[in-house]
Chain A
């Protein structure tokens, strides 16, 4: 097919950014593509044949996180390296990142160049680039400061921070002296709220998380650019129980050097993979089934069953996806795990890959997690060098597995598994219609197993202590321990690990409750897609089944605490605003419903008259259609928290508690 490219040419820096990732362009019949004629004959799939050969480093090693070197062109049919048919298209997101990291925005010339390199239609690539909140497709200063205004930060004074910044740096979204600042959804540093992420494009790009952030330091970073990210506080400071012998998933964090494979092994690392290799895939799955491990990403699906159905799919290859796109407001557990114990994530993925017959795993991590990304990339490199990734892992003939990191670019929806597949494949992060389920047709149309980070890091425990012993912790149906992210107006915010079945009251006591002289108003359980719980409901045992019975959810482990200083209606407005921003826009109930929900809430909060006299009724009707008819979980849950605030807390009702 003929693809039409614009006449726009890239700058030297843009060209270098793209070619640095994809490798130098090969001449086509001795002549490079001529951008002047606007037409380049190219094959859409970028395969190596014919005149239109567009070279693609099919092994994805360009971002430094690719699989083993020497595994050939990666174009597909070598079953040993686990790649399905590789298209140029799936390098689109990394290529957009490369340009954005170098230049700070994506120009027509840059887009044109990377489209020619990947044989992607420019309109399609524009559709992808303009989908992600971290990318700009219009000129933007190289320094951008993202100020979190989401729930936990809002409860901890982000509004004051923003007004201070307005005074010193001007309006949000306005360029000033090579920098600008803007509002951001949850940055996943809720335990240290309010949080700010500073970014500076360049070679290399720099990022820095400031949390808790004060206006002076933010203004300084905005002007001078981010400095060494290692100035961040140690991960163990986010774990108030640090050092406690009761910790299981968090036991190594703060004790192990996250940058050292040897230290990881000295702390018991890779014993579980050794056990797995000895047991064989079927026995690994049996142990996970015996452990009754349920998914920790929010949906609470039995992991053993998911693995069994993936492993038994006859179609090859199988893919593994580790979902590290933790973007639920109030959630930061996966970040702490990845920053504090990155090798355990890699080992867990390797075990899952072995059990499910996958020869390749993707670790999809949100773009807002620079420290976690760096530590995981380092862990992958070390594991590969030492034979824990690549061919014949740990000397086990025939077990080849490798992991590639994919960075998201600011889209909550990409945590939805099918949207995540589209994102990896280089398409807009829009969810797919199910069925087919991922275990049948997932990434690149192949059987795919998707697990959350926390779910996966339970697996080594199961393989060292046995599935039955694992199931002995927690309750009959909700086994093991669970990570809970405590934030908001709680005395000791942070990441807590408790056995499932612990009550919400016990958990809050562990975190010191609300501050002296303050009164607990409400707890948001499960995040923006979860529900509010009243102070008189604190005896709720934290299990999947008890939460379900109480018409709420543990979700991704969010426990956002609000005392009587917090403006609850303002929180509801923030939730509505969040869902409107994060809707992909594909289906009508969610695309328009989230807008109408936000508008009606504004009328109610401000005491304005409703057009047809009943905004609460309107909200319920809109909520029902979002829940019934949206394509994916985002739209289906966008009304949950607001509904629970209205029905359980009496928020917004006359004479209600707020």
Chain B
């Protein structure tokens, strides 16, 4: 018996996980079961508030009787199933997926990936030196590509898109996990501002006709930033601080509070560094928001730390003291 959120009463099913019999509520995924028994499976495209896209293929496990490996994030446990999470085949698959991803995208701001790379001995550099940034990724037609010569490894490396004051799209870091598209679309925000365009290696997150965000259906809720696993989407503040070299998560504090902009009562987690808000997230386990916010909750904090406002306010007490 393991500890998984039961929800409504459900039947329990027994299966074999790495040689041990485990009992989970019907409908649990293999990943749910692993989490419940404290087994850590790497995931990238899995989102705790989203339906599994099972696109990244980092969480693949071996199910006896299946010709291919299966994604643990979306495959439901069935009675009598025998699962291996750490076989030679799964380790090879994870190592290769990490190498393929690492050779194509910049994973420097992806949490945990460095540890996984070390654990699985992934060496993305063995595919050759990375191809330099290109600015034509949004233009690339489906079904054709420039013939490579094998001297460099193709990448999605490209200049960051800075087209508004709130957030930056740095698609050189994008692993095409689909989470931002799902959060923007029918799973949460229903804005449908972004989609996957193009095909194959040239598939990319895009607005219609790759227009700048201000010309799109974007409402700047920032829910895409909330779910982005790689830092491809980030607050402008964070992007600028990283560029200046002043971003330091070690020095940051997190404070969860209630948003004061309206009466809904969304929870905000304020990330502060040197007493300034540098990022706002929202707890995923909150039953009202599930990690989602609106533009005000997500971005409406600049006025609180406006230097002009503070100068005015601080001017008066200063005179009083005199």
The interface of chain A, by Cβ under 8 A from chain B, is 1, 3-4, 6, 44, 108, 111, 121-127, 130-133, 136-138, 173, 182-183, 185, 410-411, 428, 433, 577, 580-589, 591-596, 598-603, 606, 608, 611-612, 618, 621-622, 624-625, 627-631, 636
Contact = CB atoms under 8 A, between A and B. Distances in A.
Given A6-B208, A133-B141, A182-B144, A585 B60 contact: no
Nearest to A121: B192
A629 B206 contact: no
B142 A599 contact: no
B92 A428 contact: no
A133 B100 contact: no
A370 to B, nearest CB: 18
Contacts of B198: 130-131, 585
B216 interface: yes
Interface string B151-162: 101100000000
Contacts of B69: 628-629
Contacts of B125: 611
Contacts of A3: 192, 217
Contacts of B199: 130-131, 133, 411, 583-585
B208 A111 contact: yes
Given A127-B197, A581-B200, A599 B127 contact: yes
A45 to B, nearest CB: 11
A627 B68 contact: yes
Contacts of B206: 123, 126-127, 130
A-B pairs with lowest CB-CB distance, top 7: A133-B143, A585-B203, A121-B192, A127-B195, A4-B217, A603-B150, A625-B96
A591 B56 contact: no
Contacts of A611: 125-129
Given A580-B200, A588-B57, A596-B153, A183 B144 contact: yes
A124 B142 CA distance: 16
B243 to A, nearest CB: 28
B142 A625 contact: no
Interface of B: 52, 54-58, 60, 68-69, 71, 74, 89, 92-93, 96-97, 100-101, 103-104, 123, 125-129, 139, 141-145, 147-151, 153-154, 175-176, 178, 185-186, 190-203, 206-209, 211, 215-217
A171 to B, nearest CB: 13
Per DSSP, are chain B's interface residues mostly helix, strand or loop, or mixed? loop
Contacts of B217: 3-4, 121-123
Contacts of A130: 142, 197-199, 206
A392 to B, nearest CB: 39
A584 B203 contact: yes
B197 A133 contact: no
A183 to B, nearest CB: 7
Contacts of B193: 4, 123
Contacts of A625: 92-93, 96-97, 100
Contact of A622 (B57, B60, B96, B200): B96
B208 A125 contact: yes
B151 A594 contact: no
Given A126-B195, A587-B55, A599 B60 contact: no
B96 to A, nearest CB: 4
Contact of B68 (A586, A595, A603, A636): A636
A624 B96 contact: yes
B195 A123 contact: yes
Given A123-B192, A622-B100, 12 more contacts: A121-B185, A121-B195, A123-B193, A126-B197, A133-B142, A433-B71, A599-B148, A599-B153, A606-B150, A631-B54, A631-B55, A631-B57
Given A121-B217, A599-B154, A621-B92, A588 B97 contact: yes
Contacts of A622: 96, 100
